[in-house]
């Protein structure tokens, strides 16, 4: 994974989500558009990802359940995008995380915060887990 930093830090226009995708895909921040200001951001993101062989799925995270609905450990194990309230503002922030599964429980770990002045605050709470899914199953690596 490449550690890409966001270049726009002004909420709500920041490009932390784009930096997470760039990090996971090994791209430069300039190569990934900013999607999150659009009401149909996930559709726009998937339109951009499709020719690159990926699909993005954003799932709500229930910290009490410690599980992601309808998924199994083999499906979700690996890098992901974790999103939730930023420790620096009232807006959401995205970071790269890692999903580990054991006995049906999901454990989320922080891997990379694209905010240039990150101080290990990460997120106040994880609200969503985003999966970057290869459209060709042969490209899947955990």
Is residue 78 included in any domain, yes or no? yes
CB of 95 closer than 8 Å to CB of 87: no
**Planar angle of CA 24, 91, 46, nearest 5 degrees:** 40
3-state secondary structure of 74: helix
Q: Residue 30's domain spans which residues?
A: 16-139
Task: Indicate the pLDDT class of residue 8, thresholds 50, 70 and 90.
Answer: very high
Rounded to whole angstroms, how far apart are CA atoms 97 and 61?
13
53-103, pLDDT tens digit by residue?
Answer: 999 999 888 777 666 655 554 556 789 999 999 988 889 999 999 988 777
Residue 6 falls inside a structural domain: no
What's this model's pTM, rounded to 2 decimal places? 0.87
pLDDT above 80: residue 121: no
Q: Indicate whether 3 belongs to any domain.
A: no
């Amino acid at each position: 994974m490449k550690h890409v930093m966001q270049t726009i830090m002004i909420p709500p226009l920041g490009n932390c989500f784009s930096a997470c995708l760039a990090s996971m895909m090994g791209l430069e921040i300039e190569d990934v558009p900013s999607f999150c200001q659009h009401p149909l951001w996930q559709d726009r993101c998937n339109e951009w990802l499709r020719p690159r062989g990926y699909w993005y799925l954003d799932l709500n995270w229930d910290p009490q359940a410690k599980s992601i609905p309808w998924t199994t450990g083999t499906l979700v194990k690996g890098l992901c995008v974790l999103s939730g309230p930023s420790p620096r503002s009232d807006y959401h922030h995205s970071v790269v995380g890692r999903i580990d599964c054991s006995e049906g429980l999901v454990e989320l770990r922080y891997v990379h915060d694209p905010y240039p002045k990150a101080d290990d605050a990460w997120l106040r709470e994880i609200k969503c887990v985003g999966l970057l899914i290869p459209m060709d199953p042969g490209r899947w690596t955990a």
